[in-house]
């Protein structure tokens, strides 16, 4: 039996080597992928990568539900709730650039598999923690390992497709955000009890919110199973001069797309890149690659994408702090948005016959929020048929800015809610799409590092947005709102500087 296996492996290797000696015209990897076309192979990579991305969004958004559901059981204060919410984000920020370095040096799928596995295990363990500080510590570790799937899975997915096919693929990949925004509250709605506290004895009980945290990891488990059988990125293999394995990956794609690689007569051109295999200590490699990101020819594209992504986080998450306040206000008097937010009525008072700390929140709004995300993603997919990706950015950011300007004047409650939601959702839709531009701009050996550094800097936008709302809302709501609008107008200019 062993001899048969060795013979089969030898035949496979010989077959692959023979396919390399076809003597066809030399072509770049982009041209080879274009010749292979789009088919079942790319669909498999898209589906399992999207499931891994769904885990990342579930872990982030789902925690906002878990914080409320566990408040009575863990007896959390406002500060402890903030700690639970931010622990994972801190872990992702700290580990971000090192994870990008590992993925660029050691391989895409190899690192992503193990990081997904450890993330799922740590998330399940965190659901069993008996008190808030141990739970927060485990969430920090979840963030350390989740950074890879959350940031670099997009780069892995796009590296199986030709450049012209990537923009619509990224939009389909981004649907995971909208699906997660529906999945998390929907599971919570049917799984959690109406009342948070089941008993008052303070003993450790495996309550339903703990199982909810485990359910949020389910898409990641399916994604992990799929990634375990997917091949390495052909771009990474070419960049580390493993050309024979690249042909095997291309053959894998051809077979799943019902083509024969020998019929395509592919003869790949070598990558003129040496930095990824250069021998040097870790700190020197990281420093050299970081410096390359802020020097020509990559500086302009990296800075434009980072400033744009920073603005998308700033506005979508900063405005998100206002949303619950706006939804709980009575605007029957048809006031301006800032009048509603600056002079809230009964916001701190619970509704009659409802305990503010013992009643689960209404999950209807998050469901509508997720549906809106999906609709805007499909709109972007439709627009890409007629206009370039850069002009889709211009349209979305311009609409968001127009909605922000309109909030200075309109008083109709429904129109205020629609404009406010659009101003918040449209930038959020573009977050992953900005990352796709960066994927196309950066060379293979810098791609994961660029994505990781971009996301780490962009998350500062979320922090600054929250601080702006928290500190300036009471001082001047109008000034705070128009700071967001001004940055949106600045982002319109940045959109025109994006590559096609």
- In Å, how far from its chain's centre is CA 103? 17
Distance CA 75, CA 170 (A): 41
Enumerate the β-bridge partners of residue 27.
268
pLDDT in tens, 152-210: 899 899 999 988 888 889 989 988 888 988 898 888 888 776 555 554 455 555 578 88
List Cα–Cα distances, 96 to 39, 52, 92, 303, 457, in angstroms: 32, 17, 6, 18, 10
**Domain-by-domain residue ranges, the chain?**
15-272, 283-344+360-500
User: Tens of pLDDT along 342-394?
Assistant: 665 443 443 333 344 445 556 677 788 888 899 999 999 899 889 888 999 99
Span 283-344+360-500: which CATH code? 1.20.1250.20
Tally: H helices and E strands in the chain: 22, 2
With respect to CATH, is domain 15-272 assigned 3.40.190.10?
Answer: no
Q: Is the pLDDT of residue 453 over 90?
A: no
Tell me the per-residue pLDDT of 421-450, one tens digit each, with 9 for 90 and over: 899 899 989 988 898 888 888 888 888 888
Count Cβ atoms below 10 Å from residue 41 Cβ, excluding itself: 24
pLDDT at residue number 360: 54
Rounded to the nearest integer, the mean pLDDT of the chain is 81
DSSP 134-178: HHHHHHHHHHHHHHHHHHHHHHHHHTTS-GGGHHHHHHHHHHHHH
- The tokens for 49 are 């990568």
Domains 15-272 and 283-344+360-500 share a fold: yes
């Amino acid at each position: 039996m062993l001899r048969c296996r060795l013979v089969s492996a030898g035949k496979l290797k010989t077959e692959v080597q023979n396919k390399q000696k076809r003597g066809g015209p030399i072509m770049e990897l982009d041209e080879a992928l274009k010749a292979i076309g789009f088919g079942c192979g790319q669909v498999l990579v898209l589906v399992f990568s999207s499931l891994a991305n769904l885990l990342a969004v579930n872990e982030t958004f789902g925690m906002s539900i878990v914080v409320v559901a566990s408040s009575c059981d863990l007896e959390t204060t406002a500060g402890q709730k903030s700690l639970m919410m931010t622990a994972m984000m801190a872990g992702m920020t700290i580990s971000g650039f090192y994870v990008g370095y590992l993925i660029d040096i050691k391989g895409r799928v190899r690192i992503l598999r193990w990081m997904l596995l450890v993330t799922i295990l740590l998330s399940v363990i965190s659901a069993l923690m008996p008190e808030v500080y141990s739970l927060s510590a485990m969430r920090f570790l979840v963030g350390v390992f989740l950074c890879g799937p959350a940031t670099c899975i997009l780069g892995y997915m796009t590296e199986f497709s030709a450049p012209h096919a990537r923009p619509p693929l990224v939009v389909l990949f981004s649907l995971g955000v909208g699906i997660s925004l529906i999945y998390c509250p929907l599971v919570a709605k049917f799984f959690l009890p109406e009342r948070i506290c089941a008993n008052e004895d303070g003993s450790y009980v495996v309550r339903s919110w703990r199982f909810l945290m485990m359910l949020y990891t389910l898409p990641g488990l399916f994604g992990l199973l799929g990634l375990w059988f997917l091949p390495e990125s052909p771009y990474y293999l070419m960049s580390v001069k493993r050309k024979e394995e690249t042909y095997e990956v291309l053959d894998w794609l051809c077979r799943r797309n019902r083509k024969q690689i020998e019929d395509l007569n592919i003869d790949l051109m070598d990558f003129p890149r040496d930095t990824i295999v250069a021998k040097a200590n870790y700190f020197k490699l990281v420093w050299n690659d970081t410096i390359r990101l802020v020097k020509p020819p990559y500086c302009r594209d990296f800075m434009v994408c980072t400033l744009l992504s920073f603005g998308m986080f700033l506005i979508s998450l900063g405005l998100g702090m206002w949303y619950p306040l706006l939804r709980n206000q009575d605007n029957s008097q048809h006031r301006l948005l800032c009048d509603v937010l600056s002079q809230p009525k009964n916001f701190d008072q619970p509704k009659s016959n409802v305990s503010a700390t013992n009643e689960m929140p209404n999950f209807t709004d998050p469901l509508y929020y997720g549906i809106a995300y999906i609709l805007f993603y499909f709109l972007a997919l439709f627009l890409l048929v007629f206009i370039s990706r850069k002009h889709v950015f211009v349209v979305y950011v311009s609409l968001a800015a127009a909605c922000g300007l309109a909030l200075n004047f309109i008083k109709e409650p429904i129109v205020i809610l629609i404009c406010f939601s659009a101003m918040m959702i449209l930038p959020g839709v573009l977050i992953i799409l900005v990352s796709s531009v960066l994927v196309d701009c950066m060379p293979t050996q810098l791609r994961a590092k660029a994505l990781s550094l971009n996301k780490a800097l962009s998350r500062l936008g979320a922090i600054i947005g929250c601080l702006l709302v928290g500190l300036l809302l009471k001082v001047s709501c109008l000034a705070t709102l128009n700071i967001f609008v001004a940055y949106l107008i600045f982002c319109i200019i940045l959109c025109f500087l994006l590559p096609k």
